[in-house]
Amino acid sequence: MSQKIDWAKYVAETEKNITNKISEVEISTEDDGQPKQRVVDNDEDAPEQFSPAEASLLAKIIRKGLVESKTNIEVQRRDPKSPLYSVKTFEALNLNPNLLKGVYEMGFNAPSKIQETALPTLLADPPQNLIAQSQSGTGKTAAFVLAMLSRVDVSKKYPQVLCLSPTYELAIQTGEVAAHMAKFCLDIEMKFAVRGEEVPRGSKLTEHIIIGTPGKVLDWALKYRVFDLKKIHVFVLDEADVMIAQQGHQDQCIRIHKNLSPTCQMMFFSATYDQEVMDFAEHIVKNPIIIRLRREEESLDNISQYYVRCANQQEKYSAVTNIYGTVGVGQAIIFCQTRKAAAWLSEKMSKDGHAVAVLSGDLTVEQRINVLDRFRQGQEKVLITTNVLSRGIDVEQVTIVVNFDLPVDVNGKPDCETYLHRIGRTGRFGKRGIAINLVDSEESMAILKSIERHFNRKINYLNAEDSDEIEKIGN
């Protein structure tokens, strides 16, 4: 949503409409706020678009461990009556011993940067509301899951904690983290409120924690009344930026929030932190403590950038194979703008004996996970993909990134942010990286020059037919 929204007015109007039409509302059982039938874009020549939820899920999957971040916590708002403090060990949180055991078994030896400040706040007594922002892989999910598990009273056999995710897959990811962390807390019971999960009419849920998607939660709470939202004392809104990007989810979250107790503790987590997200958050989360982890800027300092002049797509292919065959590279990621280009390139490289994997929007989530796992393990040396992987993937062995097509926005203008994230897939962990840009027209040359001016960094010409020159860039 690009237009400025007055969230206070929006929330008020939405609640008014809900109240007036409550008897007429047929609550959707869809998990993603969209119609059940997914429409697949069959135009292979169109630039491939990925939803924020898809990108977020892949980022979660790709991050196998926590990102080592050297950046500091920035506290943007604090309660003067309740001074913030941070912890350097999980023992300092006075957790249930069985919960602490689960944390350690998951490989968390010490709190991450975001956890150091967020956890004492989340576990404080009396409970405090929190809005937290931190990029994928920094431990957000583990932080709020630990707080969720810590707030459960196992003697009460009804739902006390509710965690909302925007899609089925993201809810399952959160549930898996919770299940691992609660491995030794045998009395804590959890229930997924997602598609495929049903409850008998007239029954009541006895599980302590519900992890689900907005549509299904609304069905269970207000349509079938299998649990009471007023008894929920911890409400977690995960992937908040993704949640408000979908119109249906905004309405559903507001409706769920309206039915919660005024004393319910609110935890709001987001990977991005733009004003629209904050405006919405502050109408859901009252009097919050706001913390964020300053984003580490992608650096171009250790990435050597080049461009190659090509007359057509076939010459682009020749340039890719010449470079890849000459430079002593570990693994490479090649970015294409369309599915058609990605399919064409992968077919030709495979025929020439290269171990190639393709990641594009026509794959299922399971297929994408399999492709990424094989690439991480080194089973394929070249990953051909579209913009879904322009950010989020950290594979130490990636030493070269090729822009088979330069990134442009929907208007055909240079997309400098995507360019930065694309070439930032190499040069990770302080190592040296190489970025190659293939230019096949005056238009793409103009785009390259615009990118060069934007970052004020020279992109050097490379003759892809000169093997001696190619060898030099790899040394």
State both tokens at 342.
């990605």
* List of residues 6+ apart from 259 with CB closer than 8 A: 221, 222, 229, 230
HEC letters along the chain: CCCCCCHHHHHHHHHHHHHHHCCCCCCCCCCCCCCCCCCCCCCCCCECCCCHHHHHHHHHHHCCCCCCCCCCEEEEECCCCCCCCCCCCCHHHCCCHHHHHHHHHCCCCCCCHHHHHHHHHHCCCCCCCEEEECCCCCCHHHHHHHHHHHCCCCCCCCCCEEEECCCHHHHHHHHHHHHHHCCCCCCCCEEEECCCCCCCCCCCCCCCEEEECHHHHHHHHHHCCCCCHHHCCEEEECCHHHHHCCHHHHHHHHHHHHCCCCCCEEEEEECCCCHHHHHHHHHHCCCCEEEEECCCCCCCCCEEEEEEECCCHHHHHHHHHHHHHHCCCCEEEEECCEHHHHHHHHHHHHHCCCCEEEECCCCCHHHHHHHHHHHHCCCCCEEEECHHHCCCCCCCCEEEEEECCCCECCCCCECHHHHHHHHCCCCHHHCCEEEEEEECCHHHHHHHHHHHHHHCCCCEECCCCCHHHHHHHCC
Q: What is residue 74's predicted lDDT score, i.e. its pLDDT?
A: 54
pLDDT of 418 reads 80
Per-residue HEC secondary structure of 308-367 comes to: EECCCHHHHHHHHHHHHHHCCCCEEEEECCEHHHHHHHHHHHHHCCCCEEEECCCCCHHH
Structure tokens at 403: 């822009």
User: What is the per-residue pLDDT for 69?
Assistant: 43
d(CA 228, CA 260): 9
pLDDT for residue 351? 92
**Helix 247-258 × helix 275-284 angle, to 10°:** 20
Q: How confident is the model at residue 83, as a pLDDT?
A: 46
What pLDDT score was predicted for residue 427?
Answer: 65
Query: In the prediction, which pLDDT does 30 show?
Result: 44
Q: How far apart are CA 20 and CA 95, in angstroms?
A: 45
Query: Which domains, ranges and CATH numbers included, belong to the chain?
Result: 7-33+40-293 (3.40.50.300), 303-473 (3.40.50.300)
Terminal Cα distance for the chain, rounded:
46
pLDDT of residue 35: 37
One pLDDT digit (tens) per residue for the chain, 475 residues: 334 444 445 444 544 443 343 333 333 334 444 433 333 445 555 565 556 666 666 666 555 443 444 445 555 445 544 445 678 889 988 899 999 999 999 888 888 878 888 899 899 888 999 998 876 666 788 899 999 999 999 999 999 999 999 888 788 889 988 999 999 999 999 999 998 899 998 999 999 999 999 999 999 999 999 999 999 999 999 988 778 767 678 889 889 999 999 999 999 988 776 777 788 887 788 888 988 766 545 557 778 899 999 999 999 999 998 887 776 667 888 999 888 889 999 999 999 888 898 987 677 767 877 887 788 788 888 899 876 554 445 555 788 889 999 988 878 889 887 888 788 777 655 567 889 999 999 999 999 999 999 888 899 999 888 777 877 776 6
CA distances from 440 to 91, 209, 375, 445 (A): 59, 55, 29, 8
Please give the Cα distance from 445 to 453 (Å, whole number): 12
- 126 alpha-carbon distance from chain centroid: 31
For residue 282, what pLDDT is reported? 78
